[in-house]
Amino acid sequence: MTITKKYLKPLLTGIVATLIMTFVMLGITMDFQILLLSGTIIFFISGIINSNNNGHYLIVVFLITFIYLALFILIILKELPDLWYFVLIFFMASLLGLFYNSYKKKIIISFSLFSIIVLFLTIKIIPQNIENQFTQTRFEQLPEFSINEMSGNIVNSESLKGKVVVLDFFGTWCKPCIGELKELDKVQLAFKEDDDVVFYVINANLGGDTPEKFEAFIKKNQYKFNFAYDHKSEIHKLLKLQQFGLPVLLIIDKEQNIRLQHVGFNPAETEFAEHMIETINSFK
């Protein structure tokens, strides 16, 4: 077998694995819990497919994984460096698969034990990592501004003093925003009898949104938030949130200090609602 043929198969296998993972990420879900589980299985199978290859095992595993892992490092780890172990897990899964035909019984046992570690990371560690990456504590005075409610009322931020205020900057086109809103609704329901906690979902007037599109979204989804439209993104800019994209959630204490900022949302944040409820209660 020539060197070209010897290493062409693992390279092609890696391309297919990358395409499958890309399809999962873009077409199905960006939930990092699902991505870790699916990636572990896909790269283990990719290793098995090449288990008869007599090339150097490290080169074979490198060829299987390097395209996807390079993209993962450049795109995902740049924003979420705490997920570094994804690289190690996928590399090890491929390596175990590569030795499947030679040590079938041992590899089955090893992969079973390996899967327990992956499940632990999936259930316990990923949600913590995502929350830590997305959440930032702040302590700065809230600047004064006016909120244009969709009902037509104009509320001055100063009038909200004495209340814990949750501002969620949102876009109707933004999938993470829509996912976060479902969880934020659980938080709001926990305080539905508490007049000292106020929730505003503010359309940030980005990505082609209009008041009409926002109104249609509100009618379709029947949430009970206070809805507002940020004309010309004035509030979004005033709070210096342009660099973060959407969604961005701020929690403001009763003295009108910004205390917490949460940027983005991922379905892997399985304790999002619980942590937000706990945080809001700490400011009451």
Judged against a pLDDT cut of 90, whether residue 214 lies above it is answered with yes
Instruction: Using alpha carbons only, give the angle 39, 42, 45 rounded to the nearest 5 degrees.
Output: 145
Length of the chain: 284
Q: Using CA atoms, how far apart are residues 57 and 94, in angstroms rounded to an integer?
A: 10
Kind of pairing between the strands at 154-156 and 135-141: unpaired
Q: Give domain limits for the chain.
A: 3-132, 142-282
What pTM did the predictor assign?
A: 0.87
CATH architecture type of domain 142-282: 3-Layer(aba) Sandwich (3.40)
Tell me: the pLDDT tens digits for 83-117?
A: 999 999 999 999 999 999 999 999 999 999 999 99
Average pLDDT of the chain is 95
Judged against a pLDDT cut of 80, whether residue 170 lies above it is answered with yes
Judged against a pLDDT cut of 60, whether residue 1 lies above it is answered with no
Average pLDDT over residues 46-54: 94
